[in-house]
Amino acid sequence: MSAGDRTLRARRGAALPGSAAAVLAMALVLAPGTGNAGTGKWFAGIEGNFSFLGQLISGEAALGSFAYRVAAGYRPSAFDVFAAVEHGFWKDDEGSERLRIQTLDVGVGVGGTFFDGRVRAELSGGASILLTQSQLDEPGTTGFFLDARPAGIRWRMGGNIIVSLYPLTFAFVAPVTRGIPLVYISYRTAVVCELEF
């Protein structure tokens, strides 16, 4: 049984509206460069992930997934390493609009900043733990997850605070891999607040 995010299963191939793409391009151009001021520093951040872009594309009214994440790492250069913990909420496999199924994703990742620190990309993965009971699976069942973020726009809001917007990220969350797998796939938008120290 695959309880995939309906934002993916119901998509109709529509592209991001041109006006939204233009706004993002302007935000990238106007974003001040963060330079190398953050190299050789530790960092920690908190974020929210929403699949509303999937709803915009598919035309569905209900949110397909939501998650919040905390992460901490070290940035020795333009590249960094980090550990992250994410609490995810997903639609169940019974057709309900509620985000009833919960997962806890614990993993590590690598990231890199480009264009004078204006853009950041990252890739992470690790263990995905089912927190709530599904039709066939008990809480505590453990699988894996992958999270890919091709490009996030960064704004330095003072000396040590950076706010980032990742317009489109890809999450593959599989808390159950044996028997009948339980797999969630979602395109999400992430907003991050990061502190360097």
What CATH number should be reported for the domain holding residue 77? 2.40.160.20
- C-alpha span between 122 and 111 (Å, rounded): 4
Measured from the Cβ of residue 30, the count of other Cβ atoms closer than 10 Å reads 10
Residue 28 confidence class, pLDDT cut points 50, 70, 90: low
pLDDT score of 159: 82
Residue 26 CB contacts under 8 Å (≥ 6 apart), including other chains: none
Closest CA to 110 of 126, 94, 95: 126
Residue 180 domain boundaries: 6-196
Residue 175 CB contacts under 8 Å (≥ 6 apart), including other chains: 103, 128, 129, 130, 137, 141, 142, 143, 182
In this prediction, residues 123-133 reach a mean pLDDT of: 96
Question: Higher model confidence: residue 13 or residue 109?
Answer: 109
Residue 56, phi then psi, degrees to nearest 5: -60, -40
Q: Name the least confident of 14-18, 29-33, 140-144, 160-164.
A: 14-18
157: in domain: yes
pLDDT score of 2: 42
167-192: b or e for each residue (b if 16 or more CB lie within 10 Å)? bbbebebbbbeeeeebbbbbbbbbeb
1: in domain: no
pLDDT score of 18: 55
Is the pTM of the predicted complex or chain greater than 0.95? Answer: no
What is the number of structural domains in the chain?
1
Residue 13 reports pLDDT greater than 50: no
Per residue in 154-170, pLDDT (tens digit) is 999 888 999 999 999 99
Burial class (CB in 10 A: 0-12, 13-18, 19+), 11: middle
Per residue in 170-188, pLDDT (tens digit) is 999 999 998 889 899 888 9
160: in domain: yes
- C-alpha span between 144 and 194 (Å, rounded): 25
pLDDT score of 64: 74
pLDDT score of 165: 96
176: in domain: yes
